[in-house]
Amino acid sequence: MGKFKIEMGDITTYAVDGIVNAANTTLLGGGGVDGAIHRAAGPELLEECKTLGGCDTGKAKITKGYNLPAHYVLHTPGPIWHGGYNYEDVLLQGCYEYCLKLGEQHGLKTIAFPSISTGVYGYPVEEAAKIAVRTICDFLKWTQVVEEVTMVCHGEGTWKVYQEAYREYQAAESEK
């Protein structure tokens, strides 16, 4: 079973096999973590992204990491929050699942995630954290490839919410 960690930090500095980019559907860069990853990776990332034809919300595509310490970037457009009535939970779970499966297909042993959709897309971080923790931890139970997943939180508030979601997940699992 793989290891799950929750840390505060800057995902662009993580020397892992793959980092996840909370992208938009064009994959051509944007604000927040998306803009930071594109700036840190350099212009070659944008050039490769231009060849991918965008990406649907809840899916993922992979590129090289270029100037990042990470070898690869897994780009996933998260759902924009519309009150929870437009399958945002299913789409957000899909973001994590697609990235994990894509990482596994490419032999990535270590993956770092940001908190997808909780910035400008407005997804409530408490709900997003529960989905992220459950999806990642359930995946780590059976994967034979991915050894470690790190949730990289930008700020103490987000870090605390993810810590609580992980405690709740562990408590629920111990009751099974």
* Domain-wise residue ranges, the chain: 3-174
**Ranges of the chain whose pLDDT falls below 70:** none
Find the length of the chain.
Answer: 176
**Around Cβ 79, how many Cβ atoms within 10 Å?**
24
Question: Which pLDDT does position 90 carry in this prediction?
Answer: 98
- Give the ranges where the chain is alpha helix by DSSP (H): 32-41, 43-50, 88-105, 125-140, 156-174
| Measured distance CA(104)–CA(99) in Å, rounded | 8
Q: In this structure, what is the dihedral angle of CA atoms 103, 104, 105, 110, given to the nearest 10 degrees?
A: 50
- The per-residue pLDDT for 152 is 98
Is residue 34 among the annotated active site residues?
A: yes
Phi/psi at 101 (5° precision):
-70, -40
Smallest CA-to-CA distance from 114 within 44, 173, 30 is with 30
Q: Does domain 3-174 have CATH number 3.40.220.10?
A: yes
Model pLDDT, residue 1? 79
How many whole angstroms separate alpha carbon 65 and alpha carbon 135?
24
Choice among 10, 17, 34, 138 that is catalytic: 34
Distance separating alpha carbons of residues 158 and 147, to the nearest angstrom: 24
Beta strand pairing status for 110-113 and 18-23? parallel
How does pLDDT run across 135-166, given as a tens digit for each residue?
A: 999 999 999 999 999 999 999 999 999 999 99
